[in-house]
Structure 1
C-alpha cells in the first residue's frame, strides 16, 4: 500500500479507505488510486484483511448431509434455500463457506468459530441434530436454523408452520372422502413429526373413523423412498390417501405405487410438501404444501446478523398453503 500511496500521491490511510470502500474519499481520488493499483497489479489479500478486522465477514452454511444416503442431497428444496441464503449474503458482501469438513460434532463447530474462520452458522435442516444444536447455542456460538420452530427453544429457528401444513393435507383428504391414510416420513425429524401430528389432528377433529398408517423412511433419498413404498404397497392394504414428507418423496411414492397398479388420483389422493418447481410439471401434477422459501434465505441471514451484533432475535414461523393440482 505504501507503493500505491506514493504513486497516487496520497497517504497510506487514504489507500486503505479506497480499498475498503469508505465514503470519506472523493470519487476523483478513489478513481485515481484504483487506476494506479490496477496498473501495478495490486490486489487486496482478503484473508490477511480479515485477520486485521474484528470479523471474518464469512458465514458457514451447513447442510443436513446425514439425512441423505451416502451424503448425496438430491432434493431441490435444499438448494432453493441455499440460493436464497447465498443471495442475501452477497447483498451484505459476506463470504459463504459451505459445510466444511469436520463439522460432525460440537468441537468441529467450536474450532472453526474460535479460529475466526467464520462469524456464525446457518443450518439448513435440523435433521436429528437438535441435541447438538442446543449444545452449540448454549456454548454461545451464533447460529440460526431452518427447521421446526419452537418459540421457547434454545436457538433461533426459521421455518414453516408444519403443524398447519399437516392439517391442510388432512382436510384435503377429508374433502376427498378418504378413510385410510398413509403418512410417509421420518418422524425423528422435528419438522416431519409436526406434519404428522397436524395430519392426526385433522383426523381427530373430523370425528370420523380414519385409519392412519405410518411408513418410516430412514433416509430422504429418492431411491430408498421408492423401494420402501414398493415394499409397503406389496405387503399392506392399499391407502386411499398419502401424505409425503416432501415432493421428491411424493414422486417416489407415485412411481412405486403406479408399478403396482395403484394410481393417483384415480385410486388415492396425494399431498407432497415444499412445492418445488418440478411438482407442477410432474405427471400427474402434485398437490402440495407450499413454504415461503422466497423470503426464507433473507430472514435466516438477517437473524444471524442480529445474533452476531449481540442481540437475541426471535424465531420466525412462516405460513403454509395448499397448492391443489391433479393428485
Structure 2
C-alpha cells in the first residue's frame, strides 16, 4: 500500500480509503490510485483486512450431513434454502462459508468463531443435533436454525408450522374417507416429529382411523424407496400416506407402483415442502408448502440481530396445503 501511495503521489491512508470505496476521496484521486493499483497488480488481502475489524463478515452455513447417507445431500429443498440464505447474505455484503461435515460438536463450532473464521452460524435443519444446539446456545455462540420451532428451546429458529402441516394432511385424508394412514419419516428429527404429531391429533378425533409409522433413517430417495418396498412386502397397503418430504413422496409413488398401486386411485398421498418438481411430477404431488423464498432473508436478518447484541424470537412461516392430483 505504501508503494502504491508513493507511485500515485498520495498518502497511504488515501490509498486505503480508495480501496475501501470511501466517499471522502474525490473522483480524480480515486481514478489515479485505482489505475496505479491495477498497473502494478495490487489488491487488498481481505483476510488480513478482516483481522483489523470487529467482525469478519463471514457466516458459516451448516447442513445436516448426518441425516444423509455418506454425507450425500440431494434434496432440492435444501438447495432452495441455501440459495435464499446466499442471496440474503450477498445483499448484506457477507461471505458464506459452507461448513464441513466434520463440524459436529460444540467445541468445533466455538473454535470456528474464536479463530475468526466465521462470525456465526446458520443451521439448515436440526436433524438429531438438538442436544448440541442447546449446549451451543448456552455457550453464547451466535446462530439461528431452520427447522422445528419450539418455544422451549434456548435458541432462535425459523420454520413452517410443522404441527399444522400434519393436521392439514390429516384433514385431507379424512375428506378422502381414508382409514389406514401411514406416516413416513424419522421422528427423531424435531420438525418431522411435529408433522407426525399433527397427523395423529386429527386421527385421534376419528376413532375408526389407524396411523402406522414407517421410520426412514436416511433422508434420501433410495433409502425411502427401499424402506417403502420392504414395508409393503410385509403389510397391507395403506389408503393414505403422508411423507416427510416431496422427494420421499416421489420415492413412495415408485415403490407403490412395484405393487400395481397408483395415487390417487388406490391411496391418497401428501408430501412436504412444495419443491419445484412437485407440480410437474406425474401425478402432480399434493403437498404442504413452506415459503422458502422468505426463509433465507429471515434467517440472515435474525442472525445479524444476534451479532449486533439483539435477542430475536423464533418465527413460524405461513404453512398451507397445496392440493394437486395425489
TM-score bracket for the superposition, by shorter chain length: over 0.9
Please tell me whether the aligned partners of residues 228 and 252 of structure 2 are also in contact (alpha carbons under 8 angstroms).
Answer: yes
CA distance in 1, matches of 2:193, 2:79: 22
Name the SS of the counterpart of 1:122 in structure 2. Answer: strand
Aligned residues: 326
Matched residue, 1:209: 208
- Which residue of structure 1 aligns with residue 291 of structure 2? 292
Q: Distance in 2 between matches of 1:211 and 1:50?
A: 58
User: Pairwise mapping of residues 259-278 of structure 1 onto structure 2 (< 5 A)?
Assistant: 259-278=258-277
Does residue 229 (structure 1) correspond to residue 237 (structure 2)? The answer is no
Counterparts in 2 of 1:72-221, with a 5 A limit?
A: 72-100=72-100, 102-205=102-205, 207-221=206-220
Distance 1:143 1:23 in 2: 33
Whole-Å Cα distance in 1 between the matches of residues 309 and 77 of structure 2? Answer: 31
Match of 2:279 in 1: 280
CA distance in 2 between partners of 1:189 and 1:217 (Å): 11
**Residue 21 of structure 2 corresponds to residue 8 of structure 1:** no
Q: 1:312 aligns to what?
A: 311
Structure 2 residue 36 is matched with structure 1 residue 19: no
TM-score, normalising length: structure 1: 0.97
Instruction: Provide the secondary structure at the position in 1 that maps to 2:157.
Output: strand
**Structure 1 CA distance for aligned equivalents of residues 162 and 315 of structure 2:** 12
Deviation of 1:101 after TM superposition, in Å, equals 5.3
- Per the alignment, residue 252 of structure 1 pairs with 251
213-222 or 34-43: bigger deviation: 34-43
Task: Give the equivalent residue in structure 1 for 2:45.
Answer: 45
Unaligned ranges ≥5, structure 2:
none
CA–CA distance in structure 2, aligned partners of residues 317 and 85 of structure 1: 17
User: Which shifted more, 77-86 or 1-10?
Assistant: 1-10
CA contact 2:4–2:15 (8 Å) conserved in 1: yes
Query: What SS does the aligned partner of 2:144 have?
Result: strand
1:22 is displaced (CA, Å) by 2.1
Equivalent residue number for residue 238 of structure 1: 237
What is the RMSD of the two structures over their aligned residues, measured on CA atoms? Answer: 1.1
Pick closer, same or farther for the CA change 1:185–1:89 going to 2, 3 Å.
same
